[in-house]
Amino acid sequence: MRRNIRFSGTDLDFVNIAHSHLIHSQWENLHPLSTSLTPFRVKHILLKLKNDDVLSLEFFNWVHNCNPSSHTLQTHSILLHTLANNRKFKTAHSILRRIINVNVASSSNTLFDALLCSYRLCDSSPLVFDAVFKTYANLNKLRDATHTFLRMKEYGFLPTLESCNAFLSSLLQLRRAEVALAFYREMRRDCISPNVYTLNMVICAYCKSGDLPRALETLEKMKDMGLSPTVVSFNALISGYCNKGLLGLALKMKSLMGNYRVSPNVVTFNTLINGFCKEGKLHEAYRVFSEMKVANVAPNTVTYNTLINGYSQIGNCETGMRLFEEMGRNQVKPDILTYNALILGLCKDGKTKKAANLVKELDKDNLVPNASTFSALITGQCVRNNSERAFQIYRSMTSIGYSPNESTFGMLISVFCKNEDFDGAVQVLRDMLDRSMTPDSGILSALYNGLSRCGRKRLALELCSEMEAKRLLPEGFGQEKIAITSPENGTNN
């Protein structure tokens, strides 16, 4: 049973005196009272100030600085009601982030209940709960946001469209496309009308979940909802088609943009260029690049990087270098990805000296080599079957804290095996295992067979046993070989 808590005379006098000092800006008279603050007194002072959000916040912060133990979830809640009533949502979100980050409230349910408890006392607005929902969404705390949304509905409070959009955005960032679509359906059932930003995210969610027909249907329904698609709407669909390899449909979607009086932008062209490059269709990618220039859409660093990387992957470093020179003429600033793509192209073509010279040019653009730079240089030496130089670069790479990926490790082991330097191959394999990486079964077979030919089957067996113990042995690899070379079978070379 709830009991009415009454002021004692001392509390009532304290609250009235403090309130009088506050409204007359007599802060110097307040300081002697700071040691006598209690959560109960702070709460009632804030209640008396509830119509003045500026003074409420000043007092709240003053208490936080001089006697923070006087603040409780209840005092925070009263301030939040005051801020929401006066539509000071930016400040409310800041207070909420503090509550959440320092665990003033142990859970979203605790926070909701505290606000609900003081809701009528503060003559508050449902927007205070909306602020909580939006804050959880912006902090990517999806479970707390979901719980708050359900509690709001339980009490008849609906979130604003802006907060729903924040939640949808957070879901997409965290790759929860199916949940985003389910939430959108819930919005529609609750008669929360979407805007273009909402529907763009819905299109994106359908694309990410692989349902391109529904994505297209959503775009086509925009007009019936009194909304017009934007370039973002089309870019989402174009990206969806490109990710599925449906490049013809992606181009068709670009051609439809004019029907909606929407012009393609740099993202549109970059998405198409990337789609063609991923499929190895460099001729079509370059045609889109040319169309981009005709449309007076200026290529950016991403555009050039995509094309240079595409040409590098097929070993056409000459075209990559021409594009790099064009970047300079057009005053488009290269980044480390630009250089890495060029270096990789040169290395794949065996032009390791030119690649090394490019590395030296990084300083001019205030760039620093990264793991991909070293991996490209290792690739170049592996192409030339120069295992010793490749290993030197590998050692330089690891000495400054970069770790090769599985592909780079595989190349190193492979080139050592080709040169019949099995000690080097084993050393690289052990480094790979130390990083908990599983070697490729083909490369491992080459090393195993090489060791066996050299009469070092025992070492091959030991390596297999080590990998098996670490659960890094490729599935199905070596079972028969281990049986053949086991001590019980008497083949311990």
pLDDT at 330 over 60: yes
Pair of tokens at residue 416: 């050592």
pLDDT over 70 for what percent of the chain? Answer: 94
Greater pLDDT, 40 or 475 = 40
Q: How far apart are CA 170 and CA 145, in angstroms?
A: 10
Which pLDDT score, from 0 to 100, does residue 491 have? 43
User: What spatial distance separates the first Cα and last Cα of the chain, rounded to whole Å?
Assistant: 84
Question: Above 50 in pLDDT, residue 51?
Answer: yes
Confidence of residue 105 (pLDDT cuts 50, 70, 90): confident
Place of tokens 């030296």: 360
219, 225, 197, 196: which is closest to 207 by C-alpha?
A: 219
- Using DSSP's 3-state secondary structure scheme, residue 105 falls into coil
- pLDDT, position 4: 47
193, 198, 203, 207: CA torsion to nearest 10: -130
Mean pLDDT of the chain: 90
Residue 222 has what pLDDT?
93
Across 223-241, average pLDDT:
95
Inter-residue long-range contacts of 224-228, CB under 8 Å, 24+ positions, other chains counted: 225/193, 225/194, 225/199, 227/194, 227/195, 227/196, 227/199, 228/196, 228/260
**Residue 459 confidence (pLDDT):** 86
Type of residue numbered 448: Y
pLDDT beyond 90 at 444: no
Q: What residue type is 180 in one-letter code? A: A
Helix, strand, coil tally for the chain in percent (to 5): 75, 0, 25
17-27 as b/e: b if 16+ CB within 10 A: ebbebbeeeee
User: DSSP assignment, residue 107?
Assistant: S
Q: What is the pLDDT of residues 473-489, one digit of tens each?
A: 777 565 444 443 444 44
| Separation CA 159–CA 147 (nearest Å) | 13
What is the average per-residue pLDDT within 129-142?
96
3-state class (DSSP) for residue 132: helix
CA atoms in the 13 A half-sphere facing the CB of 206:
21
The predicted model gives 275-303 an average pLDDT of 96
Best-predicted range by mean pLDDT among 1-10, 98-107, 128-137, 431-440? 128-137
Q: What size, in residues, is the chain?
A: 493
Which stretch of 173-182, 247-256, 276-285, 462-471 has the lowest confidence by average pLDDT?
462-471
Cα distance between residue 315 and residue 350, in whole Å: 10
pLDDT (0 to 100) of residue 477: 64
C-alpha dist (Å) from residue 370 to 88, 103, 362 = 45, 39, 11
pLDDT tens digits, 280-290: 999 999 999 99
pLDDT band at 447 (very low <50, low <70, confident <90, very high): confident
d(CA 190, CA 180): 15
Q: What is the pTM of this model?
A: 0.81
Q: How many Å apart are CA 152 and CA 290, to the nearest integer? A: 53
SS3 letters across 375-442: HHHHHHHHHCCCHHHHHHHHHHHHHCCCCCCHHHHHHHHHHHHHCCCHHHHHHHHHHHHHCCCCCCHH
Task: Report pLDDT digits (tens) over 356-412.
Answer: 999 988 988 899 999 999 999 998 998 888 989 999 999 999 998 898 888 899 889
Residue 301: which pLDDT band, with cuts at 50, 70 and 90? very high
Q: From the CB of residue 490, how many other CB atoms can be counted at a distance below 10 Å?
A: 7
Confidence of residue 7 (pLDDT cuts 50, 70, 90): low
**Res 493 pLDDT > 50:** no
User: Which string of DSSP letters, residue by residue, matches 28-97?
Assistant: HHHGGGGGG--HHHHHHHHHHTTT-HHHHHHHHHHHHHH-GGG--HHHHHHHHHHHHHTT-HHHHHHHHH
